Structure 1
Amino acid sequence: MITAYEQLRDLVERARHAPLWPSGSDALGDRARPAAVLILFGVLDSIPSHHEAQHQAVSRDLDVLLLTRATTLRSHPGQVAFPGGRIDPEDDGPVSAALREAREETGVNTSGVEVLGALDPIALPHSSHTVTPVIGWWRRQSPVGVVDEAESQAVWRAPVADLVDPANRVTWVHRRADGAMRGPAWRLTGAGAEQFVWGFTAGILDRLLAALGWAEAWDESRVVSLS
């Protein structure tokens, strides 16, 4: 049986030749602000999911590291995100930046993280960022938690089985005068509270789960309206 680790490693390799999304490297031109996020999977959690996933690679203890941004932040307050941030001049590229930001935001010991590779950057025109997702595998356990309360209100690990559970999936809709925006979302429990995962983070998770063959059919007509 192929493992989650092997599937993630193979996905990164396939994405070199068949990208999961259009590359945003040149989409924003000179105004692009490069950033990177760490998408860290592992099977080290002692709090497994109650959902029995259809795909054998998705064990009940497989999870991904997430954080909930502080509500006092000007940008995306209270939203769930991957650890990450802008690529600084002293960083040696997206991988270095993603690991540094994860260490600063969650306290994770990055010496226990195996980097499987980076995916194509994604352009976010509204913020002028081009974000490179870095896929990692958590080989050695280390404590994680909120490092700076001004930046994050929670650091938590979402069981992948909960992410593929159709009962947790909804569609977010944001209606505006010029039309409506929509996308995949999740209602989860993390850090002892209900967590709503949507936007950029949910979009990436949705694409990854589908590309890995882990996604399960869900009711996309279940809508949560955002004000």
Structure 2
Amino acid sequence: MLFGSRDGAGIGVSDGARAAAPVAETDVLILVRAATLRQHAGQPAFPGGRVDPEDRAAQDPAVEAALREAVEETGVDRAGIDVLGRLAPVPLPVSGHLVTPVLGWWREPSLVQVVDDAESSLVVRVPVRDLLDPSHRHLATVTRGPATHHTPAFTVPVGAESVTIWGFTGILLDRLLHRLGWELPWDATRRIPAPR
């Protein structure tokens, strides 16, 4: 989960990510997974992936994997990222993976873009102000067989279009924004089918 200042200025890690930069000027890096992938195809995600053998030699393999994957998926310059820490591992029931979210502050933003069309179809910096806007919040509804699931979701403008952040990524964003005290009241009864 990589947060940064929209204008590249703003706060550094020592200033405290919550306290200083106006929340409205903070953004988060999101990608949309390629539609051709076997798992979570076409879904929004934070850059990241599994720990590879070369990551295991690092002091913190989960952090190394997160940074390596962010570079591979978005082209971000890792030298401009300050790792704030990692959150407790979270189970991803659909695939059976255990995900360790790594929080980073993008001290020196760099160009980001789709690096490999086989992995991602979109890479975007989403302003936190758009995530907090109650009109952008809803529950995404997913029906698989007889079961229906609801996850927190955010439909935010991206250029002339919009992207819906839902599923595991929506859940993590929802929890983090709530924990930081940034969340605004929103209509949790508003339900929209998840994108397919």
Structure 1 position 150, deviation (Å): 1.0
Mapping of 1:161-180 within 5 angstroms?
161-180=129-148
Q: How far apart, CA to CA, are the structure 2 residues paired with 1:145 and 1:175? A: 32
What count of residue pairs does the alignment treat as equivalent? Answer: 181
In structure 2, do the counterparts of structure 1 residues 171 and 207 end up closer, same or farther at CA, with 3 Å as the change threshold? same
After TM superposition, give the deviation of residue 60 of structure 1 in Å: 2.5
Equivalent residue for 1:100?
A: 68
Cα deviation, 1:81-104, whole Å, max 9, x if unaligned, reads 100011011102100000000001
Decide whether aligned partners of structure 1 residues 58 and 164 sit closer, same or farther in structure 2, where only a CA change above 3 A counts. Answer: farther
Q: 2:41 aligns with which of 77, 91, 111?
A: 77
* Counterpart Cα distance in 2 of 1:56 and 1:83: 25
| CA spacing shift, 1:147–1:116, aligned 2, 3 Å | same
- Which whole-Å CA distance do the structure 2 matches of 1:176 and 1:102 have between them? 31
**Cα drift, residue 125 of structure 1:** 3.3
Give 4+ residue runs of structure 1 displaced > 3 Å after superposition.
55-59, 175-179
2:181 maps to 1:219? no
What amino acid does structure 2 have at the position aligned with 1:197? I
Give 1:131 shift. Answer: 0.6
Once residues 167 and 44 of structure 1 are traced to their aligned partners in structure 2, the CA distance between those partners, rounded to angstroms, is 21
Cα-Cα RMSD: 1.9
Q: How does 1:150-169 map to 2 (within 5 A)?
A: 150-169=118-137
Equivalent of 2:162, from 194, 197, 204? 194
Q: Is 2:172 the partner of 1:208?
A: no
Looking at structure 2, the residues matched to 219 and 167 of structure 1 have their Cα atoms a distance apart, in angstroms, of 8
SS of corresponding position for 2:143: strand
Give the structure 1 partner of residue 100 of structure 2. Answer: 132
TM-score normalised to the size of structure 1? 0.75
1: CA distance, partners of 2:93 / 2:142: 18
Q: 1:60 aligns with which of 24, 30, 43?
A: 24
Counterpart amino acid of residue 60 in structure 1: A
**Contact 2:6 2:127 (C-alpha < 8 Å) held by counterparts:** no
Q: Is the 8 A contact 1:83 1:102 kept in 2?
A: yes
The answer as to whether partners of 1:45 and 1:63 remain within 8 angstroms in 2 is: no
Deviation at 1:203, TM superposition (A): 0.2
Using the TM superposition, name which of 217-226 and 204-213 deviates more.
217-226
Q: Deviation of residue 176 (structure 1)?
A: 4.4
Structure 1 residues without counterparts, runs of 5 or longer: 1-38, 47-54
Indicate the residue corresponding to 1:11 in structure 2.
none
Give the secondary structure class of the aligned counterpart of 2:40: coil
Question: 1:73 is aligned with what amino acid?
Answer: L
